[in-house]
Amino acid sequence: MSLRHKAMLATVCLSGSIAAAQAQHCHSALRGHITEGNRREPLAYAAVFVREAGKSTLSDESGYFEIIDLCEDSSYTVEVSHVECAHLVQIVRIRENATFDFNLDHDAVLKEVIIVEKALAPAPAQAQATLSQADLEAARGTNLAETLRKLPGVSVLSTGSTIGKPVIQGLHSNRIALVNNNVVLESQQWGREHAPEIDPFSAGKITVIKGAAGVRYGPGAMGGAVIIEQEPFRKEDGWGGWISTGVFSNGRGAVLSGSADWRKPGSSLVARAQGTLKKSGNLRSPDYFLHNTGLQEYNVSAAASWRKNRWEFESGLSSFNMQTGILRSAHVGNLTDLQLAIKSDTPLNNNNLFTYTIGRPYQEAGHLTSRNKAVLRINDTWKLTGQYVFQYNQRREYDVVRSSGSAGTRPQLSFQLWTNTLDAAIEHQPVRHWQGGAGFQAVQQTNFVGRGGLIPDYQSLGGSVWIMERRRRYPQPWEFELGARYDYRYTAATSTGSLNNIDTLVHFGNASGTAGVIYHFNRYCSATFNSGLAWRPPHVNELFARGVHHGAGTFEQGNPALISEKAWNNNLSFQLNSDALNINLSVYSNHIRDFIYLDPQNTFVLTVRGAFPAYFYKQANAVLNGLDGSAAIRLGKSLYLEPGFSIIRGKRTTDAPGGDWLPLMPADRYQYAIRWTRSGSDKRESYIRIGGTTVMQQTRIPAAGLLKPAPAAYTLVNLDGTLQLKAGHKPMELGLTVSNLLNTAYRDYMNFFRFYADEPGMNISLRLKLII
Amino acid sequence: MKIKVSSFASIAFILSGLFMLGGCEKHDHTEQENITTIKLLVTGPGFDQTFTWNDSDGPGGNDPVIDEITLPASTSGLQCAVLVSDESQSPAVDYTAEISAENTAHLFTWTVSGGASLTITGADQDSSGKPFGQITNWATGQTSTGFLTVKLYHEPTDKNNSANPGGEVDFDIAFPVKIQ
């Protein structure tokens, strides 16, 4: 980084602290832990009252509490009380990030306050972006990838308008991990047209970790991770929850979702049931309906948590089910058909009409997760965690078939995947300023290819050990993180049917590591540098695939000699969070050795459907460099400007003189919006926002060329808003989102179906959320 | 509480076991419909031969084995019937009857190129009186060589436009032709 840039950052940080000073530093929190008796068991539902501020709260089921918006370096009188215990009054002085441990006793003898300097739940020392609550609500009803697409550095790889996968800083599919409720999703993510089986409605918070996160989340997280957390359980006794409904103009769709919590009075037992129903019909691009783009989805989940002495338990069961149509015009029989379809500006074989009926081609995917977790709090510092997760994934793909006979009701491809995961970890609160943990993981996976010999059956066994530690000593501005992990994967693959004859054992083992440093300029402003080594074993698909990829009009062949991909990711990011200014910037360089890619062979493979160009899986070194960021700048009392951008350059550096651009790298993207907010009496914020997204034309394409030139640059205008209301005493939220407000006809480079049809046009969605 | 945990865990294990069993039963190793072999049965006065296009290991792997169509010069009255099958399965699956039963949804097209002196005309119609092309009449001219391209279209939108009938291509194969 140049001196000038450093000066710029320093200026930004300074202005941040000025803004903070104007706000009198009253954004500190009083955080602490309340324990009971000599055994120091966590005390739930103790009342905490701060006299000077007139604020109060209850400790949660683990004895933790938080009171926000207190002034730093001020003294407060804190009263802690519980029906079964003695009252405690203590004067405390709030310091940045300090937490207070209060120990209550059944008699009034013991009055002890320990001020322990410890960081709370440290976020990874890595570039990350969290979806704001407003953005999460505004995207309700869209799929996971679509929900995340506003975040800087995140884009969407789509196959038509119904199937989308998140792309983090240019990497996707098996190179990123999707972590839902602390469970890494295990499904057929290798496929470009296989969307993640996650219901965004179940999410209370979504965070994207950019860069190598393999130490935390395993070999799947070479390029980053999407962390989906559910809302915390209800803390009060009895019932509570929400119902959310939405309607969409494009596709004439509707979605209904609800969640209910119940806490057994006077008990630690709390349970939740959640469900989502969704249906929509053919989408419409500005000039025509996109035939066969309907979808339906139903998801249910249940979870429970309870506590007994030092033990905490949580169990959850969830089921995701979807059926999605695939644009009829995208189905082509051979290369001549494909060339005709590509040449045509409008989709061929397209029925320009609206229907909810889903015909061939379509996909069905189901995912079942059962998670069971137990935590043993050994003492205030140490805890032991064990988790067992079972996942079952089923995917069926129905192609357009010649026969309407018995084959006409059967899928052409069907996969089933069973995954058993066992995790154990020991974690600790700061000990000599170091906080972290170590653990191991065992994975067993069975894949059955019921129909269609695209990939072989396989059985995988794997094991991992990891350690991760973080050091922060207040008030030193430095924070360090170190982590290491070793993974081993063993896979036995056998052929299905008569087309492939594979019976092979492959095994891969590799170490990964991460080193990060955070410098806190002040409470509002910090810079993070992270350097991580991560790896990924080649997927069975890349090793053994052999067949015609009809959507792409290519013959693809795996290579059993592939070795693991290794990534060295360096990421420097800068965060500033104040009322007046919010900045999130990230610059990265990701060097990948033995990057696996599909290489065009300049030869044709003769098949019964004619000749198809051959693509073989190959390996080469690649470098991905990029810059992305977003900001919220306060212009007036309640007016914000929200710019954002994502830029990435991906090149293959070997086997290509001077380097060759990687295919399917997101084009440069610029976002800008103006948001007007109004705070209600109870701090719930209403807002309206109008903004635009400009995506440039991708001019950096592989030398081998593209089947169809990259689409032109486009700009979309979007509008969204939320109105906070009251239905009686209950909070109610009314939302409006208009995407593609000007009904612009456009195609996107990252959408595989750009060959065939335009993207959908304007969509008006109305949402209503009732909190009960 | 311990009982609760263990019962929950056992439920999870039982569930996983159930799914495993279900999966094993469903696992049938059946391939999708896969045309590997097209046979042209050419008959006429004093002529009876079968020309085969065969790719029994499917796309990739070994190249397809393609017979050369050798026909006597200046001969008319030859008739050709197409047979379509999957010989990667055992026993082989013959799709010809099924295609004929659904003749309105199928169209065979015939294109001679490269200078071969061969004239092909349709000898059949589908049940709605439109071209079908499974049976064709062949006539040869002088000595020459070239190629014959045969395509099967599925759900064609315009059966009278044999150059571009719409729908999807089920197979698209070419034979070398020698008229001697």
Task: Please tell me whether residues A428 and A471 are part of one structural domain.
Answer: yes
Q: What is the pLDDT at residue B84?
A: 94
Task: Please tell me whether residues A149 and A248 are part of one structural domain.
Answer: no
**Identity of residue A383:** K
Q: Select from A315, A450, A610 the Cβ nearest to the Cβ of B26.
A: A450
Which A residues, 358 through 417, put their C-beta within 8 Å of a C-beta on chain B? 368, 370, 372, 374, 388, 390, 392, 399-405, 407, 412-413, 416
Between CA A336 and CA A263 the distance in angstroms is 62
Give the range of the structural domain holding residue A139, as residue numbers without chain letter: 128-226
Q: Given an 8 Å threshold on Cβ–Cβ distance, is B169 in contact with A609?
A: yes
Above 50 in pLDDT, residue A22?
no
A490 inside 8 A of chain B by CB: no
Burial of B122 (0-12, 13-18, 19+ CB in 10 A): middle
Which B residues, 139 through 168, put their C-beta within 8 Å of a C-beta on chain A? 152, 154, 157, 164, 166-168
Above 70 in pLDDT, residue A387?
yes
Task: Please tell me whether residues A338 and A235 are part of one structural domain.
Answer: yes
Q: Bridge-partner residues for B48, per DSSP?
A: B43
In whole angstroms, how large is the CA radius of gyration of chain B?
A: 24
Q: pLDDT tens across A488-501, in order?
A: 999 998 875 544 56
Q: Given an 8 Å threshold on Cβ–Cβ distance, is B23 in contact with A448?
A: yes
Q: What is the pLDDT at residue A331?
A: 80
Task: Please tell me whether residues B43 and B109 are part of one structural domain.
Answer: yes
Q: Is A122 a member of any domain?
A: no
Q: What is the pLDDT at residue A407?
A: 54
Last residue of a domain, one of A117, A139, A155: A117
Q: Identify the band that residue A453 occupies on the pLDDT scale cut at 50, 70 and 90.
A: low
Q: Given an 8 Å threshold on Cβ–Cβ distance, is B29 in contact with A313?
A: no
Distance from CA of A448 to the nearest CA of B (A): 7
Task: Please tell me whether residues B142 and B86 are part of one structural domain.
Answer: yes
Q: Select from B5, B53, B172 the Cβ nearest to the Cβ of A609.
A: B172
CB distance A662 to A651 below 8 Å: yes
Above 70 in pLDDT, residue A125?
yes
Task: Please tell me whether residues A578 and A487 are part of one structural domain.
Answer: yes
Q: pLDDT tens across A585-612, in order?
A: 999 999 999 999 988 887 888 888 888 8
Q: Identify the band that residue A732 occupies on the pLDDT scale cut at 50, 70 and 90.
A: very high
Q: State whether ipTM is beyond 0.90.
A: no
Q: Given an 8 Å threshold on Cβ–Cβ distance, is B169 in contact with A412?
A: no
Most confident by average pLDDT, A13-17, A616-620, B25-29: A616-620
Task: Please tell me whether residues B103 and B154 are part of one structural domain.
Answer: yes
B59 inside 8 A of chain A by CB: yes
The residue of chain B with its CA nearest to that of A394 is B23
Q: What is the pLDDT at residue A369?
A: 97
Q: Bridge-partner residues for A436, per DSSP?
A: A428, A469
Which CATH number do you get for residue A93? 2.60.40.1120
Task: Please tell me whether residues B44 and B23 are part of one structural domain.
Answer: no
Task: Please tell me whether residues B21 and B72 are part of one structural domain.
Answer: no
Above 50 in pLDDT, residue A108?
no
Lowest mean pLDDT among A10-24, A468-482, A669-683, A751-765: A10-24
Distance from CA of A463 to the nearest CA of B (A): 20
Q: Given an 8 Å threshold on Cβ–Cβ distance, is A372 in contact with B12?
A: yes
Task: Please tell me whether residues A242 and A111 are part of one structural domain.
Answer: no
**Identity of residue B111:** T
Above 60 in pLDDT, residue A581?
yes
Q: Given an 8 Å threshold on Cβ–Cβ distance, is A333 in contact with B154?
A: yes
Distance from CA of B101 to the nearest CA of A (A): 10
CA atoms within 13 A on the CB side of A630: 20
A306 inside 8 A of chain B by CB: yes
Q: pLDDT tens across A323-337, in order?
A: 999 998 888 777 778
Task: Please tell me whether residues B99 and B119 are part of one structural domain.
Answer: yes
A130 inside 8 A of chain B by CB: no
Q: What is the pLDDT at residue A385?
A: 94
Give the range of the structural domain holding residue B24, as residue numbers without chain letter: 1-30
Helix (H, G, I), strand (E, B) or coil at A761: coil
Which ranges of chain B have pLDDT less than 70? 1-33
Find which of A331, A495, A498, A616 to mutate to test the B interface (most B CBs within 10 Å of its CB).
A498
Above 90 in pLDDT, residue A729?
no
| Residue in the structure block whose two tokens are 């595989």 | A752
Between CA A426 and CA A439 the distance in angstroms is 6
| Residue in the structure block whose two tokens are 């009009």 | A553
Task: Please tell me whether residues B12 and B61 are part of one structural domain.
Answer: no
Task: Please tell me whether residues B7 and B69 are part of one structural domain.
Answer: no
Task: Please tell me whether residues A188 and A257 are part of one structural domain.
Answer: no
Between CA A192 and CA A199 the distance in angstroms is 19
Q: Is A123 a member of any domain?
A: no
CA atoms within 13 A on the CB side of A197: 31
Lowest mean pLDDT among A75-79, A214-218, A232-236, A305-309: A75-79
Task: Please tell me whether residues A617 and A764 are part of one structural domain.
Answer: yes
Distance from CA of A41 to the nearest CA of B (A): 18
Which CATH number do you get for residue A143? 2.170.130.10
Lowest mean pLDDT among A186-200, A335-349, A574-588, B22-36: B22-36
Last residue of a domain, one of A180, A206, A226: A226
Which CATH number do you get for residue B141? 2.60.40
| Residue in the structure block whose two tokens are 């025509």 | A288
Last residue of a domain, one of A226, A259, A294: A226
Helix (H, G, I), strand (E, B) or coil at A549: strand
- Mean pLDDT of all residues in A688-717: 93
Please tell me the total count of domains within chain B.
2
Q: Identify the band that residue A576 occupies on the pLDDT scale cut at 50, 70 and 90.
A: very high
Between CA A186 and CA A182 the distance in angstroms is 12
Q: Select from B1, B167, B172 the Cβ nearest to the Cβ of A336.
A: B172
SS3 for A450-511, per residue?
A: EECCCCCEEEEEEEEEEEEEEEECCCCCEEEEEEEEEEEEEEEEECCCCCCCCEEEEEEEEE
Distance from CA of B104 to the nearest CA of A (A): 12
Bridge-based pairing of strands A98-104 and A28-36 is: parallel
> How many inter-chain contacts (A to B, CB under 8 Å) are there?
146
Find which of B32, B86, B100, B162 to mutate to test the A interface (most A CBs within 10 Å of its CB).
B32
- Mean pLDDT of all residues in A453-463: 86
Task: Please tell me whether residues A105 and A57 are part of one structural domain.
Answer: yes
Q: Select from B12, B19, B170 the Cβ nearest to the Cβ of A418.
A: B19
- Residue A6's contacts (CB-CB under 8 Å, 6 or more residues apart) are none
Q: Given an 8 Å threshold on Cβ–Cβ distance, is B27 in contact with A368?
A: no
Q: Which residue, A558, A613, A537, A549, is CA-closest to A413? A: A549
Q: What is the pLDDT at residue A64?
A: 83
Q: What is the pLDDT at residue A187?
A: 93
Find which of B33, B56, B82, B86 to mutate to test the A interface (most A CBs within 10 Å of its CB).
B33
Q: Given an 8 Å threshold on Cβ–Cβ distance, is A372 in contact with B8?
A: yes
Task: Please tell me whether residues B112 and B156 are part of one structural domain.
Answer: yes
Task: Please tell me whether residues B111 and B166 are part of one structural domain.
Answer: yes
Find which of A332, A371, A402 to mutate to test the B interface (most B CBs within 10 Å of its CB).
A402
The residue of chain B with its CA nearest to that of A269 is B1
Q: Identify the band that residue A456 occupies on the pLDDT scale cut at 50, 70 and 90.
A: confident
Q: What is the pLDDT at residue A17?
A: 41
Q: Given an 8 Å threshold on Cβ–Cβ distance, is B61 in contact with A608?
A: no
Task: Please tell me whether residues A402 and A538 are part of one structural domain.
Answer: yes
Q: What is the pLDDT at residue A21?
A: 40
Task: Please tell me whether residues A250 and A213 are part of one structural domain.
Answer: no
Which A residues, 452 through 481, put their C-beta within 8 Å of a C-beta on chain B? 452-453
Lowest mean pLDDT among A232-236, A262-266, A537-541, A562-566: A232-236
Task: Please tell me whether residues A185 and A204 are part of one structural domain.
Answer: yes
Task: Please tell me whether residues B157 and B134 are part of one structural domain.
Answer: yes
Task: Please tell me whether residues B25 and B100 are part of one structural domain.
Answer: no
Task: Please tell me whether residues A218 and A235 are part of one structural domain.
Answer: no
Q: What is the pLDDT at residue A246?
A: 96
Bridge-based pairing of strands A644-652 and A610-634 is: antiparallel
Please tell me the total count of domains within chain A.
3
